[in-house]
Chains A and B, each alone.
Chain A
Amino acid sequence: MARPLDGPGPTRPARPLSHSPLTVLLVLLCTAGVLAYAGFLLNPAHRGNIVPYAMVISAESVLVFHALVSMWTILSAVPDPRGFAFYRAQAVMFIRPKLTDEQRREHRLGLGAECPEQWPVQLAGRVVDIDLFVTVYGEDLETVRRTVTAAIAVHGKHRTWVLDDGHSDEVKQLAEELGARYVRRLSRNGAKAGNVNHALSIAKGDYFAIFDADFAPAPTFLYETLPFFAEPDIAFVQTPQTYGNLTTTISTGAAYMQSMFYRYVQPGRNRFNAAFCVGTNVVFRRSAIDEVGGMYTDSKSEDVWTSLMLHEAGWRSMYIPTVLAIGDAPETIEAYSKQQLRWATGGFEILFTHNPFSPRRRLTMDQRLQYFVTATFYLTGIAPLLLILVPPLEIYFDLRPMNLSITPLQWVLYYGGFYGLQIVLALFTQGTFKWQTLTLATVSFPIYTKALLNVLTGTDQAWQSTGTAKQRSPFEFIAPQVMFFVFLALTSFVAITRDVDNGGLTLATAWNITNTLILGAFLVAATREAHRIRHPLAAHAAAVPTRAPAQAAPLNRPITVVARPEHAEGAMS
């Protein structure tokens, strides 16, 4: 990832991202496909029984709406958000010490170091103080070491702080050993936001960056982000989350699931001035955060909420698709479930407690629309629940969603026009299509349903924390999926016997079997994970050889792959 930075020099955007003419063509084709599919569903002549039809229409409306908006957002992106102000600020950003002749000679011989992490940073003609925060909460010590070491080595004079909510003496020792400042607070109120706010009461720099314990920043992190603050109305600069650990079904699925978001959607949201913070790999202007009263602590998705508060206060946000930190995607079902529950809850909170379309919000129409998309995004994760139930309704009760008077070929064309083209778009833009993504998108509905119910009932029902580092069986988190699998498998059996009696495969049976297989694949992944947890040593030995290249690979060829789903091509059925 780290392009060796030989002193300040001209910089190019990492690579052209979204505006290949072929992307534009594909997006237009996809839009036509989506519209044709919507027209097919809404045609009154095709309406079937009211119950399954209502289920299909509500699920597909959410999917179609989000597909259309995300494609619009993709097309809205400008190729490079950097302007003259950025480049001018970047050119004079570092104040390099005058070297003595002897030092110069040493450098030429490869002796001594230039210590770019000591160079003072100036912005708008003034030397600025910068704090880098590494938030720690019980992460693996080696991971913390990697991140803190990388944070200290970031070019430009800065202070590195380890904000430890895990109250670990080992982390304290590690921070002292590496030369970072260590902060521990008495309470754990407000989770990560509370942790950062507490640190802000001690660290008084003009700008501060936040890194999760597993996101090691590149040395050029400040060099690439800080010049944006030359414009006085920028509140924060966000960079993508990139994952290096594509080793399990879960991490691969979770990572590729959201790559669309970081590579295409966030750059598009820039244009709407609605790119939001994702909690890590981000640098904030201190005065902006002070103006909105610190990081937002009343939500578990403090990142989105803080962005919303800043946008309401009239600040601008900036997102650059340049990879400047690589971290770990959730590897276990437990980590994945908790992460998704947290994000989905944050989204639904905006929808139900802070409607972006309310006249009381001080947002532009662009921002209202984008925050509405954010708030409703996780409904696309609930859509598969409705769609999974449609084939059983037909099998048991003969209730059909559509009254299909068209030929199967026509049906395939309509269906492929939406889902097929979405997959083609993903294939083209990502260069690959991962079955894990589809699986995760289809089986995660219990998490999102739980988030929705939590927000609607005002409860905070998460999975109980054991308080120990001992990993728990994934099956504790996926009981609904297990039950759905049993249900679908038995239903498939009934459907097959019915079809054998009637002498012909029906669409409902085909879909039901497909859904059973998808859930089954997920349960296989869960079983493997449970095995790994029960036999950690054997699994570790097996994992090491595959893991090392996976971590090394991104250094040569960064895979911008990431943490937040914003694209829902995965919902099937």
Chain B
Amino acid sequence: MTWIARLKLLGGVVSVILLVAVLTVVFTQRVSHATSESASIEALSYPVGSTFGGVVTHVYVQQGGHVKKGDRLIDVRPTQTDALLSKNAKTPYSVTTDGVTTLLATADGSVADLNVPAGGFATAGQTIATVDEDDSLYVRAELTLSPQDYARILPGAAATVTLPNQRDLKGHVESLEVRTEAGQAVTTAKIAVKGLVDHGDLGLQSPGTPVQVSIALHDDGVFSGPLDTLRGFARSIGLLP
């Protein structure tokens, strides 16, 4: 065997080893993260309604409009005159002399839903409008995990939320719910994300926007030690942030 052939063979073997190293990094990345099957941005919201049936006489807000605490939302004139007799000062509505009830916003937020237009009839207990609270956006993610992987989600685990425009936001796991289906852990995770602004990113950061969530799993495999060393090295020379 000539020396050139030997060197070629050696070069080939070395490149194969490098390839396997790269693939192993990919593999470890994959097994160190769990990716959501379905995830979306959600918001805490409160429904607005009246305890009695009546005709909606005036709507002060528009769908999507922003309201402040105490803003008037909707006027309802009850069909039952009993309502006039109610004098409870703590109710979130005021009663005028003609019996019209005005529903008020209880927190800052934006109007998500308006179910009854002016002139429409609202039954007792019906949700007439829904208001999404400001700064209450979070991400809900559903993942199907093996029991081993489920055990590797630690409280407060780091999560990456990818918006439809491929922007990544950092967050962490706030709470977990789990049920078992065919031996797999069907997990619903609530991810708290700092920097989610309602209607930010050209409206992409709104409740209901589909996103992708990748949750870091606690890595205790054979390759975690060397990889952490590698990552630390990459950071120290400025390859990784």
Binding site for B on A (CB under 8 A): 392, 395-398, 472-473, 475-476, 479, 482-483, 486-487, 490-491, 494, 497-498, 501-503
Contact = CB atoms under 8 A, between A and B. Distances in A.
A475 B9 contact: yes
A501 B17 contact: no
B1 interface: yes
Contact of A490 (B15, B17, B30, B148): B17
A486 B17 contact: yes
A490 to B, nearest CB: 4
B154 interface: no
A487 B20 contact: yes
Given A479-B8, A482-B12, A486-B20, 8 more contacts: A395-B27, A397-B30, A473-B5, A479-B5, A491-B20, A494-B27, A497-B223, A498-B27
Interface string B1-40: 1100100110011011101100110110011000000000
A19 to B, nearest CB: 49
A483 B12 contact: yes
A447 B117 CA distance: 77
12 contacts: A398-B30, A473-B1, A479-B8, A479-B9, A479-B12, A482-B13, A483-B16, A490-B17, A491-B23, A494-B20, A501-B148, A503-B148
Contacts of B24: 396, 494
A299 B43 CA distance: 73
B239 to A, nearest CB: 22
B20 A490 contact: yes
Interface residues of B, number: 23
- Interface majority SS on B: helix, strand, loop or mixed? helix
Contacts of B17: 486, 490
Contacts of A494: 20, 23-24, 27, 223
B222 to A, nearest CB: 5
Contacts of B16: 483, 486-487, 490
Contacts of B146: 502
B221 interface: yes
Contacts of A475: 1, 5, 9
A501 B152 CA distance: 12
Contacts of A397: 26-27, 30
A395 B31 CA distance: 11
Nearest to B23: A396
A473 B222 CA distance: 38
Contacts of B30: 396-398
Given A398-B30, A494-B27, A472 B1 contact: yes
Contacts of B222: 497, 501
Given A397-B26, A490-B20, A497 B1 contact: no
A483 B15 CA distance: 9
A397 B9 CA distance: 27
Nearest to A484: B16
Contacts of B31: 498, 501
B1 to A, nearest CB: 4
Interface in B142-166: 146, 148
Chain A to chain B: the 3 pairs with minimum beta-carbon distance, closest first = A473-B1, A490-B20, A396-B23
Given A396-B23, A491-B20, A502 B9 contact: no
